[in-house]
C-alpha cells in the first residue's frame, strides 16, 4: 500500500502482527476451536475434533490472507480553506486511489483529528476497482484559535467474515490554522494616519526651491522634462530633479500579552477579545494601504521586514496579513511584567499611528504608555479591565476607580483611550474612539491649543 502524500509504515511482525489484529469474533472462534480440540482429545470424539479444528483454523486463515494482501493505495488530503477564523468551519477532502491492477476489498478510512476539532471521522469504502478512486470529505470547526495537525490518514482492512482487522497508516499530515475572528471596522479618520496613501496625502518634498534641490543621475525611462540642465553642465552628466516622494502611512498595533494583565481563559475571555481586536485592526489598516506591523509587550515585531519591522512596499498586503494572522493564531501570554521592551522599539522615531490593546495597567506601565504617545503621530488605546470580564454582571458596581484613573492619565498624555466592557463590539468602540478624538480636537481648537 502506498501513499500519495508520503508512503506508509513498514509492514513487519509476521504472524504476531496478524494475530494482534484479530477481532473479538476472531478471538472467540479461536478460543472455541482450541477448547473443542482439547475436549475431543479427552473424550476421544473425532467429530468434535474436526469441528474444533475448523473453528480454530478459520480466524487464522483469515488473518494470514489479510496480512499477506498487498494493496497499493495512494491517499491525499486537501483543506478548504487551510486558514479559517475561529468559530468557522473548514472542509477536509480525502482522496484514495487504487494504483494496483487488482481491486480492493472493503476498506475503512479514518483520519486523526484533535479532540477540539470534533470526533474522529470514519468512512467505509466499498470495493475500489483497479485504477479507480474514491473521494470523501468531512467538516471541522474550532472556537479556539491555534494550529492543529490533521493525520496521519489510516486504512483499516477487514476480511469478509469480520475475523481480523489490520491498520495501515500514511506517514504525512497537514495543519489547519485557526486564526482569531476578524471583525469589519468602519472607515474613520484617526489622528496620525495622513501620511501618503488613502485619504491623507502628506508628501515629503525632495526640493525646497530651484537652488536647494537634491539631484540624482539620469536613469533609463526618466522624463526628460525633469533634467536639470544647470547641474548637468556642472557635473558633466545628465542630472534630474527628484520629484515629491510619497510616504507610505505607518501603523503599529500593540498587543499586551502579559499574563498578569488578564484574568480568565476561554474564547470569551478578555485576552481572546484583545487578540481578535488586534487581528481586526491589522487587517483594516492593511486594506487602507498602510505599512503595518504587529508589536507585543516583549518587543517582538511582525512581519519584521527591515530594521523597523513594517511591511515593505514590495510585500503584498495579503501575504503580510497571513503572516500576522498565523502569529496571532498561536500567540499566548508572556511572562513579562512591563511594556518597556515595546517602548524601546517605539522610541527610535515617529512611528505614525499607534493602536494598542491593553490589559490591566499599574501606574508604572501607564507612565510608559504616556511616553509612547510622544513617539507616534496619533495613539488609540483600548483598555480591558479583566476583573469586569470574569465577574458576573450584577447591580452592584465594581471597583472602577483605578481603571478610570489610568484612563485619565492616558488622555492627559494625548491618547485617545476607551474602556472595553465585557462582550463589547469593536466596531462600536472604533466609532467611539473617532468621536472622542474629534471632540478632543474641537475642544483643543476652541481653547487655542490641546492635543491633536
In this structure, the dihedral spanned by the alpha carbons of residues 113, 114, 117 and 123, taken in order and rounded to 10 degrees, is 20
* Region 335-343 average pLDDT: 92
Element (H, E) at 137: strand 133-141
Mean pLDDT score across all residues of the chain: 81
Of residues 434 and 238, more confidence is placed in 434
pLDDT score of 296 = 95
Q: pLDDT tens-digit profile of 196-213?
A: 444 443 433 333 333 334
Burial class from Cβ neighbours inside 10 Å (0-12, 13-18, 19+) for residue 245 reads exposed
Instruction: Select from 50, 55, 52, 94 the least CA-distant residue to 73.
Output: 94
Q: Is residue 245 pLDDT above 80, yes or no?
A: no
What is the biggest distance separating any 2 CA atoms in the chain, rounded to whole angstroms? 124
Do residues 180 and 326 touch, judged by C-beta distance below 8 A? no
Lowest average pLDDT, out of 127-131, 300-304, 407-411, goes to 300-304
Of residues 397 and 170, more confidence is placed in 170
Q: pLDDT tens-digit profile of 19-44?
A: 888 999 999 999 999 999 999 999 98
pLDDT score of 389 = 87
Lowest average pLDDT, out of 198-212, 226-240, 297-311, 434-448, goes to 198-212
Q: pLDDT tens-digit profile of 84-105?
A: 999 999 999 999 999 888 788 7
- Residues linked to residue 170 through DSSP beta bridges, in sequence order: 8
* Region 139-145 average pLDDT: 94
pLDDT score of 401 = 54
In this structure, the dihedral spanned by the alpha carbons of residues 59, 65, 67 and 68, taken in order and rounded to 10 degrees, is 160
Whole-prediction pTM: 0.76
Burial class from Cβ neighbours inside 10 Å (0-12, 13-18, 19+) for residue 208 reads exposed
* Region 243-256 average pLDDT: 76
Lowest average pLDDT, out of 68-77, 93-102, 151-160, 440-449, goes to 440-449
pLDDT score of 404 = 85
Q: Are strands 174-179 and 146-150 parallel, antiparallel or unpaired?
A: antiparallel
DSSP structural state of residue 22: B
Amino acid at each position: 500500500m502506498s501513499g500519495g502524500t508520503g508512503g506508509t509504515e513498514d509492514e513487519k511482525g509476521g504472524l504476531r502482527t496478524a494475530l494482534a489484529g484479530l477481532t473479538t469474533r476472531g478471538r472467540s472462534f479461536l478460543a472455541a476451536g482450541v477448547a473443542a480440540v482439547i475436549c475431543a482429545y479427552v473424550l476421544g470424539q473425532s467429530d468434535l475434533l474436526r469441528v474444533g479444528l475448523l473453528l480454530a483454523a478459520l480466524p487464522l486463515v483469515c488473518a494470514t490472507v489479510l496480512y499477506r494482501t498487498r494493496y497499493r493505495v495512494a491517499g491525499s488530503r486537501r483543506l478548504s480553506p487551510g486558514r479559517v477564523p475561529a468559530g468557522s468551519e473548514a472542509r477536509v477532502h480525502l482522496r484514495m486511489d487504487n494504483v494496483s491492477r487488482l481491486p480492493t476489498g472493503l476498506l475503512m478510512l479514518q483520519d486523526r483529528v484533535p479532540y477540539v476539532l470534533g470526533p474522529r471521522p470514519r468512512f467505509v469504502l466499498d470495493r475500489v476497482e483497479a485504477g479507480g478512486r474514491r473521494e470523501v470529505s468531512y467538516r471541522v470547526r474550532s472556537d479556539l484559535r491555534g494550529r492543529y495537525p490533521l493525520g496521519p490518514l489510516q486504512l483499516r482492512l477487514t476480511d469478509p467474515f469480520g475475523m481480523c482487522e489490520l491498520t495501515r497508516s500514511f506517514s504525512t499530515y497537514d495543519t489547519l490554522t485557526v486564526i482569531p475572528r476578524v471583525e469589519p471596522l468602519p472607515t474613520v479618520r484617526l489622528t496620525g494616519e495622513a501620511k501618503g496613501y488613502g485619504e491623507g496625502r502628506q508628501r515629503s518634498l525632495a526640493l525646497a526651491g530651484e537652488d536647494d534641490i537634491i539631484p540624482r543621475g539620469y536613469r533609463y525611462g526618466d522624463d526628460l522634462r525633469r533634467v536639470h540642465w544647470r547641474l548637468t553642465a556642472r557635473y558633466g552628466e545628465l542630472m534630474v530633479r527628484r520629484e515629491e516622494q510619497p510616504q507610505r502611512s505607518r501603523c503599529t498595533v500593540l498587543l499586551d500579552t502579559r499574563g498578569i494583565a488578564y484574568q480568565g481563559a476561554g474564547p470569551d475571555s478578555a485576552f481572546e477579545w484583545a487578540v481578535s481586536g488586534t487581528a481586526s485592526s491589522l487587517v483594516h489598516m492593511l486594506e487602507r494601504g498602510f505599512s503595518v506591523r504587529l508589536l507585543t509587550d516583549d518587543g517582538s515585531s511582525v512581519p519584521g521586514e527591515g530594521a523597523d519591522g513594517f511591511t515593505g512596499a514590495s510585500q503584498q498586503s495579503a501575504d503580510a496579513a497571513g503572516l500576522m494572522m498565523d502569529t496571532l493564531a498561536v500567540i499566548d501570554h508572556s511572562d513579562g511584567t512591563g511594556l518597556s521592551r515595546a517602548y524601546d522599539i517605539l522610541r527610535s522615531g515617529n512611528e505614525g499611528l499607534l493602536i494598542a490593546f491593553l490589559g490591566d495597567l499599574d501606574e508604572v506601565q501607564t507612565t510608559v504608555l504616556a511616553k509612547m504617545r510622544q513617539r507616534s503621530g496619533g495613539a488609540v488605546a483600548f483598555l480591558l479591565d479583566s476583573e469586569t470580564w470574569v465577574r458576573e454582571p450584577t447591580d452592584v458596581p465594581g471597583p472602577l476607580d483605578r481603571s478610570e484613573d489610568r484612563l485619565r492619565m492616558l488622555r492627559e498624555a494625548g491618547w485617545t483611550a476607551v474602556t472595553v466592557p465585557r462582550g463589547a463590539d469593536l466596531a462600536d468602540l472604533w466609532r467611539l474612539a473617532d468621536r472622542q478624538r474629534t471632540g478632543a480636537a474641537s475642544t483643543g481648537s476652541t481653547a487655542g491649543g490641546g492635543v491633536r
